[in-house]
């Protein structure tokens, strides 16, 4: 019996040594760029959570909307790290020139906890569960952000810790549980933390994607020249259907901010369809309805539409002429505001 046990132990050690000797630590760079030439054909200067609201009619410019530069490295078969620096036209230094900030900087520890439902743990400045799953199905981040992102309901990154895993081997039911500062890319300035939960997966031969998401944070709220403690809550439902040449998606999101005497709720509903005309051509149309304050009687509700033709001129190099429209419906005594109509040529490149 002892001989059999020794044989098994030696065999396991040899197999483990052989596997580790075959693995070589390695890494690769991450490079992404996208931007536009745009012309504002309609609208006027005003405040909006959408882009182009603060531009005057007939304004035109070239934009660098995102530059990602980073590196990912696998130290062992189960330990990896990633750092990404972001720059864009909205991040400026003291001289008004484009600058950068740390978007992601984390370590990913897989199989650290020996439980079948826990795949790994991330710690550092990490991706939140807010929209990276739905954004992957959508596939047009370079054209416009997902509704949850566009209406500033959350952030793609936060400093914290995330546990993720799956309840089955086919990826039908996956989860992410995270605790973070709730400050996005900024350092923490209070003791309160944001808690994130996401349940997501792919079913029906991975043709149907779904996500159920929520987050919650106690936070300071400004009320009548004083600071009180309130709570911010988000909920989101996403569904995407892969129909072959066509893909369709739907998203509904809700935000609630509540203090001692005030409460504000916002909501957005969105749907899109993308259709592959040919191997290098795809058409997209998307429409969103946004209500910035559900309880208010004096407000604007917004209808956003973007549509365009994606042309992949080379692998991972895209040009996309598109039309971007955000219109405003006044309620109560709020004066009418003309729609923002923007004509764009969007460019995208990824390594």
pLDDT at residue 47 greater than cutoff 90: no
Q: What is the pLDDT of residues 301-317, one digit of tens each?
A: 999 999 999 999 999 99
Instruction: Say if 145 falls within a structural domain.
Output: yes
Range of the domain at 57: 25-350
**Stated pTM of the model:** 0.89
Residue 211, pLDDT above cutoff 80: yes
In a domain, 175, yes or no: yes
Measure the CA dihedral 343/347/304/258, to 10°.
-140
* pLDDT at res. 13: 36
Band the pLDDT of 14: cuts 50, 70, 90: very low
Does 213 map to a domain?
yes
Q: What is the CATH number of the domain that holds 342?
A: 2.40.160.10
Q: Average pLDDT, stretch 325-329?
A: 96
pLDDT band at 1 (very low <50, low <70, confident <90, very high): very low
Cα-based angle 278, 282, 287 (whole degrees, multiple of 5): 150
Specify if 93 maps to a domain. yes
Range scoring the smallest mean pLDDT among 257-261, 268-272, 341-345:
257-261
Q: What integer pLDDT is reported at residue 301 of this predicted model?
A: 96
Question: Among the residues of 146-279, which ranges form H helices?
Answer: 147-150
Q: How many domains does the chain have?
A: 1
* pLDDT of res. 12: 39
> Is there a domain that residue 4 lies in?
no
Range 156-175 burial, b when 16+ CB lie within 10 A, else e: bbbbbebbbbbeeeeebbbb
pLDDT of residue 225: 66
Backbone angles phi, psi at 171, to 5 degrees: 75, 20
Q: Which of 255, 189, 198 is nearest to 227 (CA)?
A: 189
| Residue 2 counted as domain residue | no
> What angle (nearest 5°) sits at the alpha carbon of residue 127, between those of residues 122 and 133?
110
Residue 9 lies in a domain: no
Closest among 135, 137, 145 to 88, alpha carbons compared:
145
User: Is residue 222 scored above 80 in pLDDT?
Assistant: no
Is residue 193 a part of any domain in this protein? yes
Written as six digits, the tokens of 331 are: 């309620």
């Amino acid at each position: 019996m002892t001989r059999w046990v020794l044989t098994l132990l030696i065999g396991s050690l040899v197999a483990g040594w052989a596997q580790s000797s075959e693995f070589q630590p390695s890494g690769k760079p991450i490079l992404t760029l996208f931007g536009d030439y745009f012309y504002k054909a309609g609208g006027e200067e005003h405040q909006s959570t959408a882009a182009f609201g603060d531009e005057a009619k007939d304004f035109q410019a070239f934009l660098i909307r995102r530059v990602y530069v980073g590196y990912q490295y696998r130290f062992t078969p189960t330990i990896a790290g990633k750092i990404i620096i972001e720059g864009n036209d909205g991040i400026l230094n003291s001289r008004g020139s484009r600058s950068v900030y740390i978007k992601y900087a984390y370590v990913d520890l897989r199989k650290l906890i020996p439980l079948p439902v826990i795949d790994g743990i991330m710690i550092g400045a990490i991706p939140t569960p807010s929209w990276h799953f739905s954004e992957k199905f959508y596939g047009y981040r370079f054209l416009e952000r997902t509704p949850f992102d566009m209406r500033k309901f959350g952030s793609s990154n936060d400093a914290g810790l995330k546990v993720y895993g799956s309840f089955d081997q086919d990826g039908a039911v996956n989860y992410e549980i995270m605790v973070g500062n709730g400050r996005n890319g900024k350092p923490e300035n209070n003791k309160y933390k944001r808690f994130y939960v996401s349940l997501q997966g792919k079913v029906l031969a991975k043709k149907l994607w779904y996500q159920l998401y929520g987050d919650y944070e106690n936070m300071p709220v400004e009320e009548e020249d004083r600071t009180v403690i309130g709570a911010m809550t988000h909920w989101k439902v996403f569904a995407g259907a892969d129909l072959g040449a066509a893909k369709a998606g739907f998203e509904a999101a809700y935000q609630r901010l509540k203090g001692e005497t005030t409460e504000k709720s916002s909501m957005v509903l969105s749907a899109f369809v993308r259709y592959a005309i040919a191997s290098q051509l795809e058409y997209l149309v998307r429409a969103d309805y946004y209500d910035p304050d559900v309880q208010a009687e004096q407000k604007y509700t917004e209808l956003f539409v973007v549509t365009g033709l994606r042309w992949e001129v080379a692998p991972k190099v895209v040009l996309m002429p598109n039309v971007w429209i955000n219109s405003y419906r006044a309620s109560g005594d709020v004066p009418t505001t003309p729609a923002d109509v923007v004509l764009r040529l969007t460019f995208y490149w990824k390594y």
